[in-house]
Amino acid sequence: MPTTTTTTRARATTAPRARAKTIGRATTRDGTTRCGATRARDARDDAVSRRRALALACGAVVARPIVARDDAARAMFNADLDKPIEDGPRAIATTLAAKAALADVLAQNDLFRDTCEAPVFACDLSQLNVKTSSRVSGPLRRSLPTLSEMYGADPYAVDSVLQNVSTLEAIFKANNARVKVDFKGGPEMIGLINQGLEELYNDLPADALAAGRAVFEACDLAVDATAEGDLECRIARAVSQNKRPSGGQS
C-alpha cells in the first residue's frame, strides 16, 4: 500500500509537468528547450535575415550596371541635398542649369512619345525620372530658397515650383511602372515649372540675374561632364554631351 500511494502521487505530479512541457516548450536538436515566445522571436529574426539577404542580393544586381556605365554615376547631382547653395549668383546659375536639363527631359519625353509604342514601351522610361530627380529636383531644392533669402523672391512661388517638380517626378515614376503611360502630363508640368522660374527671375534684381547668367554661361562645355566641377557646370555639360545618368534600367 505505501508503494502504491507513492506511485500514484508521482503520476499525479508528473502529468502536469509533461503537459506544460508539451504546451509551452519545444525540444531542440541539442536537447535544450525553447518557449513559445523564443520560437516566435527566432522566427521573426529569420524572416528579417531573409529580407536583408534578399535586399543585399537585389542591391548587388542593380549596382552592377551603374558601375559599368563609364562612371556615369558622377553625372548625377543629388549629393549634399542638405547643403544649400548660399552664393547668390551660383544659386541663380544652378536654376538656369536645371532649366536647361528640363528642356532635355522634354525632348526625350517627346522622343519616347513618338517611338515608344504601346503596350510594350520598349524604351528606358526610367531615364525621364532619373534625369528629373538628379538634374532638376535636387539642384533646385538647394538653390531656389537662396533666391528668397538673398533677393527677396516670393517663398510661396519657390514652394510652388518645387511642388510642381515633385508632381513631375511622380508622373515619370508612374510611367516607368507602365501601368498607364502618360506622355502628355510631363510636358504640361514642365511648362508650369518653367513659367514659375521665369516669374521668379522677373522678381530678381536685374544685376543679380545678369551675374547668375554670367556664371552659367562661363561654364566650359568641352570639359567631361563626369569631371569634378561646380554643380551648374556639371549639369550643363551633362546636357550638352547627352550624358546618360545612372540609375535607370539598361
* 133-142 mean pLDDT: 94
Q: Is residue 249 part of a domain?
A: no
- Are 49 and 87 in the same domain? no
Cα–Cα distance between 142 and 95 in angstroms, integer? 9
- Are 116 and 232 in the same domain? yes
- Are 91 and 166 in the same domain? yes
Q: Is residue 13 part of a domain?
A: no
Range of the domain at 32: 24-68
State which of 68, 86, 121 marks the end of a domain. 68
- Are 208 and 120 in the same domain? yes
- Are 55 and 90 in the same domain? no
Q: Is residue 192 part of a domain?
A: yes
Instruction: Give the pLDDT confidence of 206-245 residue by residue, as tens digits.
Output: 999 999 999 999 999 999 988 999 999 999 999 999 988 7
- Are 40 and 91 in the same domain? no
Burial status of residue 226 (CB atoms within 10 A of its CB: 0-12, 13-18, 19 or more): middle
Q: Is residue 247 part of a domain?
A: no
Give pTM, 2 decimals.
0.68
- Sign of the alpha-carbon dihedral angle for 241, 122, 69, 133: positive
- Are 110 and 202 in the same domain? yes
- Are 44 and 86 in the same domain? no
CA count, 13 A, side-chain hemisphere, 57: 6
Q: Is residue 19 part of a domain?
A: no
- Are 52 and 97 in the same domain? no
H or E element that contains 26: strand 25-27
Q: Is residue 7 part of a domain?
A: no
Q: Among 79, 122, 102, which Cα is nearest to 238's?
A: 102
Burial status of residue 76 (CB atoms within 10 A of its CB: 0-12, 13-18, 19 or more): buried
Q: How many domains does one find in the chain?
A: 2
- Are 50 and 100 in the same domain? no
**pLDDT number for residue 12:** 38
Q: Which residues of 25-57 are buried (b: 16+ CB within 10 A; e: fewer)?
A: eeeeeeeeeeeeeeeeeeeeeeeeeeeeeeeee
Q: Which residues contact 217 (CB under 8 A, 6 or more apart)?
A: none
Cα–Cα distance between 109 and 116 in angstroms, integer? 10
Cα–Cα distance between 247 and 73 in angstroms, integer? 8
Bigger pLDDT: 239 or 65? Answer: 239
Q: Is residue 90 part of a domain?
A: yes
Q: Is residue 222 part of a domain?
A: yes
Instruction: Give the pLDDT confidence of 18-48 residue by residue, as tens digits.
Output: 443 333 444 444 444 444 444 444 544 554 4
- Are 80 and 49 in the same domain? no
- Are 125 and 198 in the same domain? yes
